[in-house]
Amino acid sequence: MADGAQPSPEARPDKSREDTRRDRPVERLNGASFIHQVALAGVLVVLVTVASLLLEPFTGYLSIALLYLLLIVAAALKLGRAPVLILAAISALVWNFLFIPPHFTFYIDRLEDAMMFATFFVVAMAMGHLASRLRSSEMAERRRERRTAALYELAHQAAFATDLETGLGAAVSLIASVSGAQAALLLRRKDHTLSELAHPASSFTLSEREKTAALWAFDHPSQADGFIGARGDSSARCLPLQGRTAVMGVLCVRRAPGKSLDRGETELLEAFAVLIGLILEKDHVVEAVKRAEVLEASERLRRALLDSVSHELKTPLSAVQAGIDALGRQLGGDEEKRATLREVQSAVRRLRRVIDNLLTMTRIEAGVIQPKLDWCDVAELVQAAIDLAGDGVAEHEIAVEADHDLPMVRLDQALIEQCLYNLLLNAASWSRPGTTITVRAALDGDRLTLAILDEGPGVKETDLRRIFEKFYRASDAPPGGTGLGLAIVDNFVRSHGGSARAANRETGGAEFTLTIPVETMRAEALEELA
C-alpha cells in the first residue's frame, strides 16, 4: 500500500464494510461506560438500602418503596437506559427481599403487598424508561447545538479571516476543539491536481498510505466518505472538500488515540469539509477576479502607451508628408528642386514603412492583434495588396496567376493584405527593376495557398530557416528594411492557424508561400442564402 500509487482494494472504502466500521466504535464506547454505570447503580442501591434499613423501624416498609422510586428517577437523569432498568429491577427485588414480610425471602404473603410490589415494579420500569428518553433527547439537542455553534464558529473564523492561511488554521484548531481529532489539509494546485504537501495549517503529517487515500478521495469525491485503513493505527478519514463546481482539496482527520468519532462528530466533520470547500472555492474565485483585474489594467496601460507612441510618431510624419505635397505643388517646373523633393519623399516613405512595421510588431507582441475573420474575395485581396504596394512595385512587372473560380474565403483581409504587401515589397527590393513578380493564389480543399515568386538571387540555404525571425536580416540583404516585414507575415499567417515558408525556385529566384486553412463559400451558396 505504501509503495503503490494506486490504492489497493483494502484501502478503498466500500459501503457495506464501512457501515459496520462506523457502528462498532459506537458500541464499544457504550460498553466501556456501561460497566461503569452499572457499578454506580449498584453502589446507589446499597446506599439507599442501608438508609432504608435505618429508617424502616420509624416509617414502615411501604414508605421505603418511595425512596427506591426517588433513586430510580434521579438515576435516570444521569445514567443510560439499560443501567436504569437494571437498577429498577434490582431495587424491586431488594425491597421485596429485605422489607416486604416475610423478611429475607422473595415470597410475598399478603395480596396487597403483592399488588404493591407489582405496581412498584411497573412504575419503576416506566419511570426509568421515560427519564432516560428525556435525557437522550436532551443530549441530542445539546449535540445539535454544539454542532451548529461549531459550524457558525468555522464560518465566522475561516470565511471572514483576512487571508486564507489564518482561515484554514482556525478551521484545523476548531476541528481539534470539537472532536479532539487532528486535521491535515491537502489543497488543489493551480494545475487542478492534488498537492502532495500538506497545507502548513495541518496539525499532523500524513503517512504515504494516508496520502494515497487522500488522492483517491480527491479523484472520487462522490464515493469517498469513509474511513481508510481501519486496520492498524493509520485511521485518518479523508473527506473531499467539495466546492460548488470542483473539488478544492481533501481534509484528512486523524482521531485522538483511544478515541473514536461518533456519528454526530462524523456528520459535523462532513459539514466542515463542505464549508471549507466553499471557502477555498470562494478564495479561488476572488484570486481569479483580482488577477483578471490586474491583467486588464496592465493591458489598458499598454494600449494607451502604444496609442500615444503611435500618435507621436505619425503626427510629425503627417506634417512632413503634407509639407512635401504642398512643396511639390509650389515648385512648378523646377526639375532640379523636384528631384531633391523626390528623394525626400522616398526617404519619408521608407521611414513610414519602418514605423509601421515597428508599431505592428509591438502590437503583435502586446497581443492586441486578433484576426477578425470575414468573407472575402481572393482575387480582390490580391489586387488590393498590389494597389497598396503602389510605387514600391511600379518598376516591376506583376503577374497574377489565380484560379478563375476561387470561392469566397473567410479570413482577416486587412492582415493577409498586409502579408502580401510585405512580400511584394520584399520581392521588389531583392529583384532588379523590369523583372517579373508573380502572385499565385490557389485553393486546395480548405487550404488557401498564396505565393509570391521573384526573379532575384534567391535565398541562401543558411538563411532559409531563419528568414522569418524577428530582426533577422539575410547576410546579403539590400539596404533598407529592419528585418521585421517577414516576421510580421509569419505572425499574421500563424494567427490564422497557417504557415509561411520560403524556398528557392528551380529557375532561380525566391518563392514565399503562405498556407492558410480557411472556410470557403461557393457562389452557389448564394441561391441558398437568398
Binding residues for another protein, per CB under 8 A?
307, 310-311, 314-323, 325-326, 329-330, 352, 356, 372, 374-377, 380-381, 383-384, 387, 408, 412-414, 417, 521, 523, 525-526, 529-530
Which run of H or of E encompasses 441? strand 436-444
Q: Which is nearer to another protein, 325 or 334 (CB)?
A: 325
Q: How far is the CB of 509 from another protein (least distance, A)?
A: 25
Q: Which is nearer to another protein, 15 or 404 (CB)?
A: 404
| Spatial CB neighbours of 65, under 8 Å, sequence gap ≥ 6 | 95, 116, 120
CB 60 within 8 Å of CB 107: no
Cell of 243: 466546492
Burial label, 337 (beta-carbon count in 10 A; 0-12, 13-18, 19+): middle
Task: Give dist(CA 34, CA 38) in Å, integer.
Answer: 6
SS3 460: coil
Q: How far is the CB of 437 from another protein (least distance, A)?
A: 16
Q: Which is nearer to another protein, 166 or 383 (CB)?
A: 383
Q: Which is nearer to another protein, 203 or 383 (CB)?
A: 383
Q: Which is nearer to another protein, 316 or 479 (CB)?
A: 316
| Spatial CB neighbours of 465, under 8 Å, sequence gap ≥ 6 | none
Burial label, 111 (beta-carbon count in 10 A; 0-12, 13-18, 19+): exposed
Q: Which is nearer to another protein, 325 or 395 (CB)?
A: 325
Which run of H or of E encompasses 176? helix 164-179
Burial label, 222 (beta-carbon count in 10 A; 0-12, 13-18, 19+): exposed
Q: Which is nearer to another protein, 275 or 331 (CB)?
A: 331
Q: How far is the CB of 394 from another protein (least distance, A)?
A: 12
Q: Which is nearer to another protein, 82 or 388 (CB)?
A: 388
Q: Which is nearer to another protein, 165 or 403 (CB)?
A: 403
Q: Which is nearer to another protein, 31 or 323 (CB)?
A: 323
SS3 253: strand
Q: Which is nearer to another protein, 300 or 465 (CB)?
A: 300
Q: How far is the CB of 529 from another protein (least distance, A)?
A: 6
Q: Which is nearer to another protein, 11 or 389 (CB)?
A: 389
Q: How far is the CB of 433 from another protein (least distance, A)?
A: 19
Closest CA to 473 of 435, 429, 437: 429
Task: Give dist(CA 154, CA 146) in Å, integer.
Answer: 12
Task: Give dist(CA 474, CA 471) in Å, integer.
Answer: 10
CA dihedral sign of residues 481, 483, 486, 487: negative
Q: How far is the CB of 148 from another protein (least distance, A)?
A: 55
Q: How far is the CB of 501 from another protein (least distance, A)?
A: 24
Task: Return the amino acid letter for 496.
Answer: H
SS3 365: helix
Q: How far is the CB of 405 from another protein (least distance, A)?
A: 11
Q: How far is the CB of 12 from another protein (least distance, A)?
A: 55
SS3 132: helix
| Spatial CB neighbours of 124, under 8 Å, sequence gap ≥ 6 | 68, 69, 72, 88, 89, 91, 92
Q: How far is the CB of 380 from another protein (least distance, A)?
A: 6
Q: How far is the CB of 324 from another protein (least distance, A)?
A: 8
Q: How far is the CB of 514 from another protein (least distance, A)?
A: 17
β-partners of residue 376 are: 409
Q: What is the DSSP string of 37-89?
A: HHHHHHHHHHHHHHHHHHHHHHH-HHHHHHHHHHHHHHHHHHS-HHHHHHHHH
Task: Give dist(CA 217, CA 250) in Å, integer.
Answer: 7
Q: Which is nearer to another protein, 107 or 375 (CB)?
A: 375
Q: How far is the CB of 490 from another protein (least distance, A)?
A: 19
Q: How far is the CB of 210 from another protein (least distance, A)?
A: 57
Q: Which is nearer to another protein, 162 or 330 (CB)?
A: 330
Burial label, 420 (beta-carbon count in 10 A; 0-12, 13-18, 19+): buried
Task: Give dist(CA 209, CA 229) in Å, integer.
Answer: 8
Task: Give dist(CA 12, CA 406) in Å, integer.
Answer: 63
CB 418 within 8 Å of CB 492: yes
